[in-house]
Structure 1
Amino acid sequence: MFRPRVHASHLHRAPSSLFSRHFSHPAAPAPESAPPATVLADQPELDLTEDQQPAFGLGSLPIIHPTRQFLESDPSLASEPSKFGDEISPHTEHLAVPPATSKTGAGGAGSVAVSSGPVPIVDTHTHLAEVFYRKRLPVSEVAWMSLLASYKHNELKHAAAPRVQYFINIASDPSAYDLNTHIAQFSPRISTVYGCHPLAAHKYTDTVHARLEELVKAPDCVGVGEAGLNYVDDVKLEKATRFLQRTVFESQVDMAARHGKTLVVHSRGGDADVLSILKSARQARPPRVVVHNYTGSVELAREILDVVPEAHFGVSGFVTFGVTEADGVRALARYLPLETILLESVAPYIAPEPHRQRVNHSGLLPFIAERIAREKGLNVEDIYTAAWENSLKAFPGIMR
């Protein structure tokens, strides 16, 4: 039975660490060029933060079939007019699905390998249930995703740079666990992180806890989360209270530790409590920690690395946003050690500039990598190489 506990120490900020061994002096960013003007009208519904995602109801969703006839299994996907007409959003050429083969190249239906050529990109944080079933992507891009289900890549021969080859799907809404287990069947290149988002903490019953205990044992599961604290949404806090969030977070920290899974952390407005809970779990903490969409301070990043030296930080499209909005995140991009950085789309949310008003997807990750490279004064290939190596360390199960 789920019997969580919360220590009083979780309510207080831990003292700032003086350790700075993980950080280097920031390189001067390259001169910034003006981004292309967006051609889309203001569409605030597409500029949602991850915390504004709607709750799922499985009753009206189609059955998912991991076959090439994905569109035919839900005719509405093919017949519904796209919000963007028939255009294909930029950078879909970065999406590719090579044939499934073993690491040694011997082949096999349930194994994958790095194809020869450019270093692959791992989207370490995407919400495929939202991408598929809230119908946020244009039809042409949903059609691409159907190729992922059937390992058919010949139609992508025109692709100039097939880079995005692995996807970590975040299943953090208990009402959508069944849907996400279906999505996991699409391809061995899709791995899953199962957990409970802090704003869904009121859904975390004994039944949900027991279900999670089983889901984290699944072959596709590479982590627990996204778990953590979100204190910035007053309306949702009426149900997912701070105390309840801390309780549910602590339970998932323990679960990740017991099962040897990566803990994916969500923190907005609750950084002090997140750090305190991680500190209190020192003796039985998860083997790996990923701080998703990190927007905290450099000082807090130092503290996290002091507590969890092997921690990684996800960088999203927010790093590309306007000067006044994201100066702090760009400073983080300069200060964070290269060996700690992961690339994450947070699709369909937080699309990078100059496509901020578009629906986000994994093919836009190069915009994030290019901005990180500019801030660090590096070549973008350096970012791709580091992000690939970091992804394998943070989520070793993706090469199953």
Structure 2
Amino acid sequence: MFTDSHCHLSFPELREQLPHILQAMAEAQVERALCICTTLEEFEDVYQLAHDHPHLWATVGVHPDTEGLQEPTLDDLLERAARPRVIGIGETGLDYYRLGDRTVADMAWQRERYRTHIRAGRLTDLPLVIHTRSASEDTLAILREEGGIGSATARAGSDGAPSRGVFHCFTESMAVARAALDLGFYISFSGILTFKTAADLREVAAFVPLDRTLIETDSPYLAPVPHRGKTNSPALVPWVARQIAAIKGLEVQDVATATSRNFDLLFGRALAADS
């Protein structure tokens, strides 16, 4: 019924409770989840989850905020993306939130990493899972530069397929949502949507068409109200669906069906290859 499009079951606080989490998912009618990779060092753990459980899938990528670990090359991403049950590239993107004493100019390494992921997505024709925080202008600009979106050569396949994907855990403005939609991307909402302070984000959720909406937990983080402050898990993604249903005046079942269908449409080529 429900699909959690973004979770981190490989993180210790969830992996140590995996049997309980999988049972809770079943009880909450959360039928599928996408396990997101944030480092190359973590990939084998993420992949093993997808390999061992038929209702879990994996991505490959290095989070933009990760420093001091293995830097991904294009070949690193392509080799891992070729494995069965790897259905996306990311999470990737830009994050300028914790600059500290650095300037945006100092983050060139992050922008180059993002470009590498976009190229991997095009060459594999896998969706990108995009993270952006305090960096939306550059996130969109580089996606336009590298993504081949609307490009005749991209449509012909000479540079790979045009970029597609999802802006995950969306917290940006209406203007950024509109730009992402114009590029053909989906937008995913997390438990933040239920927070009392998220009135502006609920306006964005009202604007985003249901047929371009995904839901996620980003667990173990960002547990939705009424579980805020606790460890999040995919079993709580129905609370995000309930909030979207309330915003749009729909039944929760309608949101569950639509967002699961959207997941199939976005990741369907890779899902079909694994069936």
TM-score range, shorter chain: 0.7 to 0.9
3-state SS of the aligned residue for 1:265?
Answer: strand
Q: Which has the larger radius of gyration?
A: 1
Matches within 5 A, 1:68-83: none
In the alignment, structure 1 residue 290 sits paired with structure 2 residue 171: no
Are 1:242 and 2:107 counterparts? yes
Alignment pair present for 1:193 and 2:59: yes
Contact 2:13-2:220 within 8 A present in 1 as well = no
SS in 2 for 1:128: coil
1:261–1:286 Cα contact (<8 Å) kept: no
Cα distance, 1:136–1:185 mapped onto 2, change above 3 Å: closer
**Distance in 2 between residues matched to 1:166 and 1:370, nearest whole Å:** 18
Q: Distance in 2 between matches of 1:260 and 1:201?
A: 27
**What is the CA distance between 1:147 and its match in structure 2?**
6.3
| Runs of 4+ residues deviating >3 angstroms | 145-148, 201-206, 235-238, 283-287
Q: Which amino acid aligns with 2:271?
A: I
Give the structure 1 partner of residue 191 of structure 2.
317
**1:331 correspondence with 2:203:** yes
Matches within 5 A, 1:153-172: 159=27, 162-172=28-38
**Any gaps of 5 or more consecutive residues in structure 2?**
155-160
Instruction: Tell me by how many angstroms 1:381 deviates.
Output: 1.4
- Structure 2: how far apart are the matches of 1:237 and 1:351? 31
> CA offsets per residue over residues 193-216 of structure 1, 9 Å max, x none?
11111012553536x543322110
1:343 pairs with one of 185, 202, 215: 215
TM-score by length of 2: 0.86
Higher helix share: 2
Give the aligned partner of residue 124 of structure 1: 5
Deviation at 1:144, TM superposition (A): 2.6
Say whether the 8 Å CA contact 1:253–1:286 is kept in structure 2.
no
**In structure 2, distance between residues paired with 1:181 and 1:233:** 29
Pick one of 98, 116, 128 that aligns with 1:251: 116
Tell me the SS of whatever aligns to 2:108.
helix
Unaligned runs of 5+ in 1: 1-119
Residue 359 of structure 1: CA displacement?
A: 0.5
Shift of the alpha carbon at 1:300?
A: 1.5
Structure with higher RCO (Cα < 8 A, 6+ apart): 1
Once superposed, what is the RMSD of the aligned Cα atoms? 2.5
Quick check: 1:343–1:369 contact (8 Å CA) kept in 2? Answer: yes
Amino acid at match of 1:178: E
Aligned length: 260
Equivalent residue, structure 2, for 1:220: 85
1:134-153 matches, within 5 Å, as 134-136=12-14, 142-145=18-21
Following superposition, the deviation at residue 184 of structure 1 comes to: 2.1
Work out the CA distance in 1 between the residues paired with 2:87 and 2:94: 21
- Give 2:136's match in structure 1, choosing from 247, 261, 271: 271
Q: 1:147 to 1:320 in 2, by over 3 A?
A: closer
TM, length-normalised to structure 1 = 0.60
Shift of 1:180: 1.8
Deviation at 1:145, TM superposition (A): 4.3
Alignment of 1:82-93 (within 5 A): none
Instruction: Give 1:262's aligned residue.
Output: 127
CA, structure 1 residues 163+333, in 2 after alignment: closer, same or farther (shift >3 Å)?
same
Task: Tell whether the 8 Å contact from 1:231 to 1:237 is kept in structure 2 after alignment.
Answer: no
Match of 1:360 among 232, 237, 243: 232
Checking the alignment, whether the CA contact within 8 Å between 1:263 and 1:286 is kept in structure 2 is no
